[in-house]
Amino acid sequence: MTEPAALTLTEAARLVRERTLSPVELVDATLARIERLDNMIKAWVLIDRAGARSAAVELEREAREGHLRGPLHGVPIGIKDIFYTAGLATEAGSKALAGFVPDYDAEAVARLKRAGAIVLGKLATTEFAFADPTATRNPWNPEHTPGGSSSGSAAAVAARICQAAIGSQTLGSTIRPSAYCGIVGMKPTYGRISRYGMVPLAPNLDHVGILARSVMDAAAMLAAMAGADPRDHSSLAVATDDYIHAAMHPSGAPRIALLPKAFDEHATAETRDTVATAVARLAAAGARIEAVEAPPSFAEVAANATLELSAEAAEAHHERFAEKRDLYGPKIREFIERGLATPAWRYIHALEVQKRFRREVNQLLTSFDIILTPATPGVAPAGIESTGDPSFNTPWTLSGHPVIALPCAVAPCGLPLSIQLTGAALEEGRLLSIARWCEEVLAFDAVPPASLL
Residues known to be catalytic = 80, 149, 173
CB 446 within 8 A of CB 416: yes
Q: For residues 281 and 344, what is the distance between their CA atoms, to the nearest angstrom?
A: 48
148 phi and psi angles, rounded to 5 deg: -160, 170
CA distances to 52, 114, 188, 258, 300 from 117, rounded to whole Å, are 10, 7, 20, 37, 41
Residue 14 CB contacts under 8 Å (≥ 6 apart), including other chains: none
DSSP state of 132: S
Three-state DSSP class for residue 29: helix
Measured CA angle at 340 (ends 339, 343), to 5 deg: 80
Torsion of CA 322, 100, 390, 228, to 10 degrees: -110
Tell me the β-bridge partners of 404: 186, 421
CA distances to 8, 274, 379, 407 from 271, rounded to whole Å, are 27, 5, 8, 12
Q: For residues 364 and 324, what is the distance between their CA atoms, to the nearest angstrom?
A: 45
Q: For residues 190 and 266, what is the distance between their CA atoms, to the nearest angstrom?
A: 26
Write out the H or E segment, with its range, that includes residue 165. Answer: strand 165-169
- Pick the closest to residue 78 from 210, 250, 237 (CA basis): 210
Three-class SS string for 276-305?
A: HHHHHHHHHCCCEEEECCCCHHHHHHHHHH
Three-state DSSP class for residue 219: helix
